[in-house]
Amino acid sequence: MLSKVRVLIVDDSAVVRGLVCKSLQQDESIEVAGTAMHGEAALAWLKINQVDVIVLDVEMPVMDGLETLRNIQRDYPRVKVIMASSLTSSGAKITMQALSMGAAECIAKPVAKSAAEAMKIVTKELIPLVKGLGGLSPEPGVKCHTRKPLEIIPRIKVKRGEPTVRPKLVIIGASTGGPNALNKVLCDLGPDFDIPILIVQHMPPMFTGILAKHLQQDTGRTTIEGKHADYVQPGTTYVAPGGFHMKVLASSNGVMQIELNEQPEEHFCRPSVNPMFRSASKVAGKDILGVMLTGMGSDGLEGTREVVEAGGYMLAQDEPSSVVWGMPGAIAREDLPHEILPLDQLGSRIKKLCHIKAMC
């Protein structure tokens, strides 16, 4: 019998602690090992108890989420931390700081009309995340971290070898652990990398705008949230806004253009990697360089298949360097990536692939 994932809930609100506790207790593979009302109490609890995952409030009295996270990482580096934040600008900024410090994931505290509705939202979001970070397979059919049942599709025979054209577009999918992985890749590319980049990172609304600002600040690259009808410009990185699918279309003047829509979620996500990958495969075909970074579940699998079928080149992050090898692992199991590389090699490999003609 597999051991349960032990969880500590840290929040100054007794109502929130109770809500999260009841939500997690619905799954028999999760044990709520303890609760604490602030960071100082949590650290005292951790001195005499073991835990796998901590759900940590961002804003608390006595000791806030960031200071608590610093202590946890120093004293308990193997424990995975999920930051819980209100959907406010200040909450999103602090959460992005926490992710850059090494928190595994963030969730938005639910805004709901009733306790039952709030509990349903938390359950969908948190159970698969806790299980995935705790090393268990998430339950099927919940949130964006699990694979939807797929029809049996013949495996594509991927043509190996170097691409023969310089890519015109780089597309990247990411989820759990993605912000830090994106930061590493974009920093390695540098500010002079001139090919446009489109990113889908699973995040709530407001958080994606803060992510774009952090990436621009850290990498020196022009990085913005994608806006509907934006023309895709060289040297610019576009992040799909939370709550919207982002697609790339061919415009009448021949320049690629962004489309945002609120069509149904895919893999229980919006934004989903699939719409962006699918649309890019139709517009750019063999001129695409796709990258799948760390993330739970299998969002992007179907889109990756279309990228490869159209002649695009696909890279995936390897398992040891991923926070969770879900999304890159899903495409690897289908033998879709042309290369599977550690995070610290992806940036240099992208640069090399995007300068093929100059190197010939």
Question: Catalytic: 175?
Answer: yes
Q: Identify whether residues 231 and 117 lie together within a single domain.
A: no
CA distance 122 to 267: 17
Residue 353 inside a domain? The answer is yes
Q: 256 near 231, Cβ under 8 Å?
A: yes
Which among 130, 103, 311, 287 has a CA at the least distance from the CA of 207? 103
Looking at residue 187, its pLDDT comes to 95
Looking at residue 180, its pLDDT comes to 94
Q: Identify whether residues 107 and 203 lie together within a single domain.
A: no
Tell the residue number behind the tokens 């850290």, with chain if given.
Answer: 218
Which among 232, 241, 334 has a CA at the least distance from the CA of 287? 232
Which amino acid is located at 110 in the chain? Answer: P
Looking at residue 93, its pLDDT comes to 85
Q: Looking at the 3D structure of the chain, how many domains does it have? A: 2
Q: Identify whether residues 120 and 225 lie together within a single domain.
A: no
User: Residues near 214 by Cβ (< 8 Å), separated by ≥ 6?
Assistant: 96, 100, 179, 183
Question: Catalytic: 218?
Answer: no
Indicate which residue of 23, 85, 175, 281 is catalytic.
Answer: 175
Q: Over the chain (360 residues), what is each successive 10-residue block's mean pLDDT?
A: 84 90 91 95 96 93 92 94 81 87 87 76 86 72 39 57 84 95 95 96 91 94 95 96 96 89 93 97 95 95 96 96 94 95 96 66
CA distance 188 to 185: 5
CA distances from 205 to 37, 88, 100, 211 (A): 27, 10, 18, 11
Looking at residue 265, its pLDDT comes to 93
**Residue 96 belongs to domain with CATH number:** 3.40.50.2300
* Domain ranges, residue 94: 5-133
336: Cα separation from own chain's centroid = 20
Give the pTM: 0.87
**Residue 226 belongs to domain with CATH number:** 3.40.50.180
Question: Catalytic: 214?
Answer: no
Q: Identify whether residues 176 and 92 lie together within a single domain.
A: no
Looking at residue 95, its pLDDT comes to 87
Q: Identify whether residues 201 and 292 lie together within a single domain.
A: yes
Which amino acid is located at 47 in the chain? Answer: K
- Helix ranges (DSSP H) in 47-88: 65-75
Pairing relationship of beta strands 222-225 and 236-239 according to DSSP bridges:
parallel
Q: Identify whether residues 244 and 331 lie together within a single domain.
A: yes
CA distance 21 to 34: 9
CA distance 119 to 16: 10
Residue 27 inside a domain? The answer is yes
Residue 115 inside a domain? The answer is yes
Indicate which residue of 299, 318, 321, 322 is catalytic.
Answer: 299
Residue 143 inside a domain? The answer is no
Q: Identify whether residues 124 and 214 lie together within a single domain.
A: no
Looking at residue 153, its pLDDT comes to 54
Tell the residue number behind the tokens 């962004």, with chain if given.
Answer: 258
Which among 250, 248, 251, 245 has a CA at the least distance from the CA of 271? 245
Indicate which residue of 23, 27, 52, 202 is catalytic.
Answer: 202
CA distance 338 to 123: 36
Q: Identify whether residues 13 and 94 lie together within a single domain.
A: yes
Which amino acid is located at 239 in the chain? Answer: V
Looking at residue 148, its pLDDT comes to 37
Residue 164 inside a domain? The answer is no
Q: Identify whether residues 201 and 120 lie together within a single domain.
A: no
Looking at residue 110, its pLDDT comes to 75
Looking at residue 103, its pLDDT comes to 93
